Amino acid sequence: MNWHVGFVSEAEMEAIAPWVDVVSFDFVGDDATIREVYGLDRVVDDYVETYRLLRRTARTLPHVTIGLRGGTLGHELPAFERLQELGVDGLVLLVFIPTPGTRYADREPPTPEIVADLLVEARLRFPDKPLYLGCMRPRGRYRDGLDPLAVRAGINVIVSPSRPARLLAADLGLATRQIRECCVL
C-alpha cells in the first residue's frame, strides 16, 4: 500500500507503519510557497522534521511538484538541496496542472523545456537514485513534448508515458516494461 500522508506525529506513524509499503510525501522547498499554496502556518523545517520521522518508520519517497506556485518556479532547487542533505531512496517529480475552480485555474504550467531543465538538475543531484516522472502532469500535447525530454534527462520511470517517449526509448535501445500500479510500488 502507498500512503500519501501529510504532517503526522510519531504515534500516528507508528500506528500506520504495519500497513504501509511506501509513503508518498509532498516536499516543499520554501516557506513562501508553503504559505501561498497551502495556506499553512508551517515552514520548510516542519517538512524536514516530518520527512525524517517518516523515513525512520517506512520507505518514503518525497514528491516535488515543479511549478507548484501556480506555474511559477522557486521552491524546487531548495527542495532538491534539502533532500540531498536528508537522503532519498528515490524522488518523484510532478508538474503543476491548472485546476478549474481554484485560484490557479488561469495559470499555465512551466514549459516542458523548463521542466526538463529541472529533471536534468535532479538527475545530476541524485545520480544513483531512481527518479520518477509521476502521474500529476499535464496531458496531451504538453506530455508529448515533456516525456521525450524526460527520457533524455535520464528519468527512470515515467507514469503513462506519451507515444513519442515510448518511441524514443525504443530508438535509444532502452529496456522498458509496463506496470499497472502506482509508480512508487
Say if 177 falls within a structural domain: no
pLDDT value, residue 182: 77
CA torsion through residues 116, 117, 118, 123, sign = positive
> In this structure, what CATH number is given to the domain that contains residue 73?
3.20.20.70
Q: What does the pLDDT look like over 143-163, one tens digit per residue?
A: 999 999 999 999 999 999 999
Q: What does the pLDDT look like over 49-83, one tens digit per residue?
A: 999 999 999 999 999 999 999 999 999 999 999 99
Q: What does the pLDDT look like over 84-138, one tens digit per residue?
A: 999 999 999 999 999 999 999 999 999 999 999 999 999 999 999 999 999 999 9
Say if 182 falls within a structural domain: no
Name the pLDDT band for 185 (thresholds 50, 70, 90).
Answer: low
Say if 79 falls within a structural domain: yes
Name the pLDDT band for 178 (thresholds 50, 70, 90).
Answer: confident
Based on the structure, what is the number of domains in the chain? 1
> Three-class SS of residue 175?
coil
DSSP string, 74-120: SSHHHHHHHHHHH--S-EEEEE----TTSTTTT--PPPHHHHHHHHH
Domain containing residue 70: 2-171
Note the pTM of the prediction, 2 decimals.
0.95
CB atoms within 10 A of CB 38: 13
Which stretches within the chain are classed as H helix? 10-16, 31-33, 44-57, 76-86, 112-125, 141-153, 163-171
DSSP 184: T
